[in-house]
Amino acid sequence: MKKTLIALAALFMCLSCEQGTDKYEKLNKQAIAEYNIPIRPGYEGRNPYWNKFAKKFMYAPAFDFKEVEGATAYRYIIKEDKKKDAAEWSFTAEAPNLSLAPVWQQITPGNVTLTVEALGKENDSIGIAGERKFYRDIPFNGPYHDAVRDYKESALFALLYIHNMKAIQHWKNDTLPDMTYELNTYPCKIIGSTISAEVMLSQLCPQLKEDAIKIAENAAQFLINQSRPEGDALAYFPPTYYGNYVTSGAARNKGKTMAMEALTAANAFLDLYDATGKQEYYDRAMNITDTYARLQAEDGSFPIKMDFYTGEPVNNVRAMLHPVLEYLQRLEQQYKITKYKEMRRKSQEWMKNGAMKTFDMTGQFEDGTVVGLEPYENLTNCTAAPYATYLLNQEDCSSEELADAIDLIRFSEDQFLYWEAPYYTRYGVKINHTPCVVEQYKYQVPIDHSACNVANAWLSLYEKNGDELAFTKAKALIDNITIMQNINTGMIPTFWRSFLQGTDWINCTLLSIQTLMRMDKIMQETATKE
């Protein structure tokens, strides 16, 4: 089997051969054609114009420009932002808010200015309907860098890096976290991910199983010890914040908790149950699930943030529900638990009637704030792509849900993915290690977790309908994980940007590992079919 996988990997790498060249010529043409299709433009009436704060586009955009009184037509003029010899593209249309599809393929990547002129009966300009500056992004043009290491080997290398971290080894003899790794200030997210990573290591590396399970169980005990007691409003929820490190020390987070964060802990308890068979971990996860069932409002929504001790919402913002939907999907598909079907149905209805109707894929991060944000001000792939994956992974995914998932994936690529370095460089060095995916409007930094969000959505689309372009795009992102991985330590950096230093987030690394393992499984299945 190993020889077969090596041969298959070599086949993917040998793209200079005639068959590979033909393949990419076909896929690149398909990508260019798809970029001409606007993403849920407001003029269709399904949702408002969502791109008020967008800075770049890969798919032909349309903007919310209003009609000018007396206009009989509108001239769209797109001009390069250069002082001399600026290229220009134009077309005429009946309305000022249509997409740039008529000339989109012709526009050279770079900064451009769009001006929509209102034309009178004599075809003369009678006013300006709107103007917008943006970056016309570089489209997909494969092939990109191939993986430099076997996917499973890369995943195991990263797991060993986490396992050997001083703060992780600390768990072998303690049920309190080593706070020299400051991100332990986010217990659900970081310590929950630590548990899941160690469980995975125990399965892939039997000689380390005893140590890995000991680490996982001590970390789990910490979460249990910190959780709210039975009978409380947030019974069995571990905290989102712990200690006085990073932003957990900010006044707005003291004594608060993010509603969706406890799901990382619940998933970790299930992982530990799967590995040890200990009923206490399964029961702990189910108790957390029961609390979610009690918290859900009649309309299917959950508050985004609550007081950790009283369970009272701290603002009027409602949470994006892809995390609870993915978790409930796991309960049904893996454990055949159906008692929460109504919670799942109501959650999905809320997403369908809220987020999808507005197409406001807003970011909700524990180290940021959503208070005071305008609609669409902080869009993110971290809502859109995982929700697309959830929709695609349903056993009964409808044609409407499939179409919604594709829109969410296209949106994620359009707004957050860079296939090549964008126009800005620093000291002649490429800033972003491409292909990559930036996290959100408010944090335009490429993150491995974001790359995995989009890659996994594409893999789910490929598994759903055999879309080869989706698989090829996913592979390009996943291959770059192996390239970004530290060749000496196995560390997968969280940040894929030059000149940026920072602590690596274990939850991000865990998703990279899971994504690598998923790609390895697909490759093995493909090899078996061959």
Tokens of 6: 């090596």
Q: What is residue 337's predicted lDDT score, i.e. its pLDDT?
A: 98
Q: What is residue 431's predicted lDDT score, i.e. its pLDDT?
A: 85
Tokens of 230: 């039975």
pLDDT over 60 (residue 154): yes
**For residues 195 and 175, what is the distance between their CA atoms, to the nearest angstrom?**
12
Q: What is residue 20's predicted lDDT score, i.e. its pLDDT?
A: 66
Domains 59-136 and 151-529 share a fold: no
Average pLDDT over residues 110-124: 96
**Nearest-CA neighbor of 286 among 269, 271, 303?**
269
Q: How many CB atoms lie within 10 A of CB 354?
A: 16
Q: Specify the fold of 151-529.
A: Glycosyltransferase (1.50.10)
Q: What is residue 425's predicted lDDT score, i.e. its pLDDT?
A: 63
Look at 403-407, 429-433, 519-523 and tell me which has the smallest mean pLDDT. Answer: 429-433
pLDDT over 80 (residue 11): no
8 — pLDDT class (breaks 50, 70, 90): very low
Tokens of 313: 């919402």
Q: What is residue 423's predicted lDDT score, i.e. its pLDDT?
A: 61
pLDDT over 50 (residue 67): yes
First CA to last CA across the chain, in angstroms? 11
Instruction: Decide which of 232 and 243 is more confident.
Output: 232
Q: What is residue 4's predicted lDDT score, i.e. its pLDDT?
A: 44
**For residues 424 and 112, what is the distance between their CA atoms, to the nearest angstrom?**
14
The CA angle 498-244-263, to the nearest 5 degrees, is 75
Boundaries of every domain in the chain:
59-136, 151-529
Q: What is the DSSP string of 205-235?
A: -GGGHHHHHHHHHHHHHHHHHHSPPTTSTTT
The whole-chain average pLDDT of the chain stands at 93
**CATH number for the domain whose boundaries are 59-136:** 2.60.40
What residues contact residue 418 under an 8 Å CB cut-off, 6+ apart? 137, 138, 432, 434, 435, 436, 437, 438, 446
Q: What is residue 245's predicted lDDT score, i.e. its pLDDT?
A: 76
pLDDT over 90 (residue 424): no
Q: What is residue 498's predicted lDDT score, i.e. its pLDDT?
A: 81
pLDDT over 70 (residue 2): no
173 — pLDDT class (breaks 50, 70, 90): very high
Amino acid at 482: T
Distances (CA, A) of 425 to 47, 145, 429, 430, 432: 36, 20, 6, 5, 9
Average pLDDT over residues 14-21: 51
Average pLDDT over residues 418-422: 90
14 — pLDDT class (breaks 50, 70, 90): very low
Radius of gyration of the chain (CA): 24
- Summarised one tens digit per residue, pLDDT across range 287-344 is 999 999 999 999 999 999 999 999 999 999 999 999 999 999 999 999 999 999 999 9
Q: What is residue 225's predicted lDDT score, i.e. its pLDDT?
A: 98
126 — pLDDT class (breaks 50, 70, 90): very high
- Summarised one tens digit per residue, pLDDT across range 347-402 is 999 999 999 999 999 988 877 777 788 999 999 999 999 999 999 999 999 999 99
- Summarised one tens digit per residue, pLDDT across range 21-49 is 789 999 999 999 999 999 999 999 999 99
pLDDT over 60 (residue 13): no
**For residues 154 and 502, what is the distance between their CA atoms, to the nearest angstrom?**
21
Distances (CA, A) of 443 to 35, 340, 378: 25, 35, 9
pLDDT above 90 covers a percentage of the chain that reads: 86
